[in-house]
Amino acid sequence: MRSPRTLAALFAGIAALALSTASTSAEDVRSVPPPHPLDESAPPAPAPREIASRHGDANDDTFSPDEIVQAGSDFFGVTTEVMAKAVQRVTEDLGQPDGYIKGDEGSGAFVVGLRYGSGWLIRKGMEPTRVYWRGPSIGFDAGANGSKVFTLVYNLREERRLYQRFPGVEGSFYFVAGLGVNYMRSGGVTLAPIRTGVGLRAGVNAHYQVYSDRRDWFPL
């Protein structure tokens, strides 16, 4: 059996060890750097109107005519009445889109023409995606044009389905309230670009556009 003096020495050693461990733990806590603030260089979240709220069925990923009219009139800087006339014509033909592209383009032609553009693909519940398009046109038209383009997208389902060549649908070009509209279709996906801008290139022409996720100056 241990003597009282031995037990006292043992307890004193345990106490000293405990104090030393506590001191070391406190120093470790103080040495941990504070968390970094949020990275302010990250791109801002899209505006609420850019990723519209869902209405009705939670599985509905299409945009209503009212949502399209509001987004398009804001983009073009026209009244909702003007935009509504164009949207009504397209939705009567094609229904409600599951996305839209808003962007700018430049084009020019003398019989043979070229067109280049870029913009943002907007889909419900998803971040905007940068997209680019280009393409030639051949026909009886001449002139130059710098346009804003608001393109309704139908039956996209997956973003990768956009990245292909879209021929123009013959006879689909028309004017509504000063806005030019035509249809392009490929692989089950239909695009309906709505344009306004300086100049006029509405002649009879056969054309196609190639969409991609990166800029490419080769027009074909």
Domain ranges of the chain: 65-212
Q: How far is CA 135 from the centre of its chain?
A: 21
101: tokens are 């592209």
8 A C-beta contact, residue 136 and residue 219: yes
d(CA 200, CA 25): 75
8 A C-beta contact, residue 146 and residue 104: yes
Q: Kind and range of the H or E element at 23?
A: helix 4-31
Predicted pLDDT at 216: 80
Predicted pLDDT at 138: 59
pLDDT, tens only, 154-178: 999 999 999 999 998 877 888 888 8
Predicted pLDDT at 103: 95
- Look at residue 118 and tell me whether its pLDDT is greater than 70: yes
Please tell me the pTM assigned to this model: 0.69
User: Which of the four pLDDT bands, split at 50, 70 and 90, describes residue 208?
Assistant: confident
Lowest mean pLDDT among 78-82, 108-112, 167-171, 208-212: 108-112
Lowest mean pLDDT among 17-31, 51-65, 107-121: 17-31
Predicted pLDDT at 54: 38
d(CA 54, CA 71): 15
